[in-house]
Amino acid sequence: MKLIKSLYFQILCAVLLGVLVGHIWAEQAVALKPLGDAFIKLIKMMIAPVVFCTIVTGIAGMTDKRSLGRLMSKTLLLFLVLTVISLVIGLVAVHVFQPGVGMNIDPATLSTAGLSQYTASAAKLGVVDFFMHIIPDTFMGAFNKGEVLPVLFIAVLSGFALSAMGEHGQPVLNVLESASQMVFRIFGYLMRFAPVGAFGALAFTVGQYGITSLGALAKLVMTLYIACAFFVLVVLGGLCRLHGFSLWKLLRFFREEFLVVLGTSSTEPVLPRMLEKLQALGCRKGVVGLVLPTGYSFNLDGTAIYLSLAAVFIAQACNIDLSLGQTLTMLAIMLLSSKGAAGVTGSGFVALASTLTVIHDIPLAGLALLIGIDRFMSEARALTSLASNAVATVVISLSEGACDRQVLRQMLADGKMPSTAVAEPNAPWPAAEPTRQS
């Protein structure tokens, strides 16, 4: 009975049932798409208030404001390094497995129908436009679209303002603390519908595209999954060992969230839950509230792997040999486009389109090869990025001395989060100390 009530078990059953229904009753399963869409929409409406309350109360509770600059510098540096490694892994994987070699595709024969929506979005992903997009039109306008970066921007400003107000800002801070508890409670209610959302999303995907619809492109899909697995197990696993905790236990702790992402192919539905569970691991609220939402926009490692891998795949399929200079230029552009795609539907595909529109060495029409299978690869991108952001948040917290190692070990050993296990939200953390290995 206890297993049946477990959200993890319910989501797992829903995922398996969705695959079965999509395979057997494909036509009817396609009609179930609104179930997955509705669940994502329900969760997305809570992202802005959750992020705002978490960050404002976290920053306002800091005793050492200088630690914020050090925290952000360290966070962005780690994200940059992980993104570069991801791009290189994708590049190496596509050259090792060569999924596009032998396809001998003539770009002139490819149909570009269906590409317009992606190329139109790609045109809006310029560097200047990306940073201008961070600034909302109005203070309340940041909440309208539920995007993370504008909310993050005004939350940081609000947190500093409340901190500077001292005792005069305490009543507002108390209200936000209560509001934070309210929005997490609402989110807890909505998560009960996660099995329904995962079922609808998986049934639609299998019904629409079919389990065996990958055909000749299966090798590309497998190459991406192998590259993502290598990044998670080797790169993230090594980072975890270096900081004295187990990658496997961390992934097990977030198993429910990974199943939701598997079903919906999106990391957004689990952002509020990730914030809550990372605090339960002993990480300070201020650090979690800054690092994780920032990672959602600046640490899309799954997308980075996909970008370099998919671009070279198109070149291989069209018999185009890229020089070292062309490859390095492509990677430099992808380093930016992988960030600019944050918050865009089909972000990985849009980022790839934005890259190809700039470099011109690889035909944009080659995107037509990927349209039919992109949905299968989006799951690998989302799962990899979620794992990377979870690891990065714990690592940054430990390096800042803002994570209780005893709580971390205990929670990872238990493998689940008690309903009342949340770290002290506003406890200050000391200056960064050398990370002790255990």
First to last CA, the chain: 37
Distance CA 292, CA 21 (A): 35
Structure confidence by residue, pLDDT tens digits, 19-63: 888 878 888 888 888 887 787 777 777 777 877 887 787 777 665
Tokens of 278: 């990372």
Q: Which DSSP category does 403 fall into?
A: B
Tens digits of residue pLDDT in 269-291:
888 889 889 999 999 888 888 88
- 345 compared with 412, residue with greater pLDDT: 412
- The predicted-structure confidence for 93-117, as pLDDT tens digits, reads as follows 999 998 878 777 776 655 454 445 4
Q: What is the mean pLDDT of residues 227-234?
A: 95
Every domain of the chain and the residues it spans: 2-414
Q: Are 11 and 198 in contact (CB under 8 A)?
A: yes
Cα of 3 vs its chain's centroid, Å: 28
Burial per residue of 94-116, b for 16 or more beta-carbon CB atoms within 10 angstroms, e otherwise: beebebbeebebebeebeeeebe
Q: What is the mean pLDDT of residues 253-278?
A: 84
Q: List phi, psi (to 5°) of 283.
A: -80, 140
The pTM for the full model equals 0.71
Closest CA to 243 of 397, 378, 140: 397
For the cut 90, the answer to whether the pLDDT of residue 355 exceeds it is no
Element at 42 (helix H, strand E): helix 33-60
Asked if 42 contacts 193 with a C-beta cutoff of 8 angstroms, the reply is yes
Which range is least confidently modeled, 2-16, 118-132, 398-412? Answer: 118-132
- Output the CATH code of domain 2-414: 1.10.3860.10
Closest by CA to 288, choosing from 393, 177, 187, 387, is 393
pLDDT per position as a tens digit, 138-163:
888 778 766 666 877 888 888 888 87
Of 28-32, 40-44, 304-308, 403-407, the one with minimum mean pLDDT is 40-44
The first and second tokens of residue 215, run together, are 């055909």
Tell how far CA 180 is from the center of its chain.
22
Percent of the chain at pLDDT above 90?
19
Q: Flag whether pLDDT at 406 surpasses 50.
A: yes
Distance CA 60, CA 57 (A): 5
Mean per-residue pLDDT of the chain: 78
At 248, is the secondary structure helix, strand, or coil? helix
Tokens of residue 43, six digits:
């969760």
Task: List Cα–Cα distances, 354 to 54, 325, 330, in angstroms.
Answer: 33, 19, 11
Q: Which pLDDT score is estimated for 266?
A: 76
Q: How far is CA 392 from the centre of its chain?
A: 12
Please state, in angstroms and as integers, the Cα–Cα distance from residue 378 to each residue in 21, 194, 340, 375, following that order. 21, 19, 17, 5
Query: Which residues are within 8 A (CB) of 134 and not within 5 positions of it... i.e. 6 or more apart?
Result: 149, 150, 153
What is the average per-residue pLDDT within 191-220?
71
| Amino acid making up residue 239 | L
